[in-house]
Structure 1
Amino acid sequence: MELMYHRKGDYLFPNLAVKDEPQTIGKYGMLRRTYLKENHKNWYQSMLMSGRLNQHLAQIEEAAESRVETLLDSLNEKFPAPSKEKDPLAWAAHQNNLTAMAEEIVLKELVYN
């Protein structure tokens, strides 16, 4: 393997580039990236240098979003919401609680494992 170098002052730096496709990641992908960076440094660096990090984060994001939707549907069946017309604040509080429950499960299962 032959590397090309460029000179910067008195130093030679290798011309390295990581081929990584730009992908948009959301909340769960950013949380996963932070978790890997702080708790699994070697794995994070390996994935970053090989160009697989953004793909992994996009997969986690997609899986987490679909899992949250599935969990919300099942939780709404298990714990029916009060009438939105009669008591909108209770309905909103109920939906917020269900969303928090679903997100907590997803974070434990997918993001922080």
Structure 2
Amino acid sequence: MEQMKQQKGEFIMTQLTYQKNGDYFIPEITLDEQPEGTLTKYGLMRKEYLKEYKGGTYSGLLLSNKLKEHLLQIQQQAEERLEVLMEQMKKSEGITEELKAENQMLWVQKMNNIQHSAEEIVLTELIYS
């Protein structure tokens, strides 16, 4: 069976093929290639946010087969931004390797505080926007 597809004012004929399965003919449909990469914390958080609060955007990305690409891009941006923010905050707070050697508990406390603050910024700017 031939199907007509319209792209930018042109009609393109595509050939649909079917596979017989018992008494039924099932169309052989293939999905577009998905980008390589595994979704981690920030990608999964973004996906859940889109699904819960931005249903139209989520559906549009899913139907256009661009959801994973979007999630991987946001994930990469979030990880890079977190790294930059943490380095900037470490410098402004004066956290050094000397502090780590002198007082490990204080160093851990300050680093945890910085990580939490930087992560809140990343979540607000990238994940939940």
Rounded to whole Å, the distance in 1 between the matches of 2:50 and 2:33 is 18
Following superposition, the deviation at residue 47 of structure 1 comes to 0.6
| TM-score with structure 1 setting the length | 0.83
- Percent sequence identity over aligned pairs: 35
Distance 1:17 1:73 in 2: 45
Alpha-carbon spacing, 1:14–1:47, altered in 2? closer, same or farther (3 Å): farther
Structure 1 distance, partners of 2:111, 2:49, is 27
Shift of 1:5: 7.1
Taking only aligned residues, the RMSD between alpha carbons, in angstroms, comes to 2.3
1:18–1:49 contact (8 Å) kept in structure 2: no
Residue 25 of structure 1 is matched in structure 2 by 39
Equivalence for 1:57:
71
Partner Cα distance (2:30, 2:57) in 1: 19
Where does residue 103 of structure 1 map in the other structure? 119
1:39 paired residue number:
53
Aligned to 1:91: 107
Q: Which structure has the bigger radius of gyration?
A: 2
- In 2 relative to 1, CA 88–31 (structure 1 residues): closer, same or farther, beyond 3 Å? same
Runs of 4+ displaced beyond 6 Å: 3-8, 11-14
Which one has more relative contact order, counting CA pairs under 8 Å at least 6 apart?
1
Structure 2 gaps, min length 5: 4-15
Relative to total residues, which structure has the larger strand share, 1 or 2?
Answer: 2
Range with greater deviation from structure 2 (42-51 or 75-84): 75-84
> CA 1:57–1:16 in structure 2 vs 1: closer, same or farther (change >3 Å)?
same
Unmatched 5+ stretches in structure 1: none
Q: Is the 8 A contact 1:20 1:54 kept in 2?
A: no
Match of 2:94 in 1: 80
Match of 1:19, SS?
A: coil
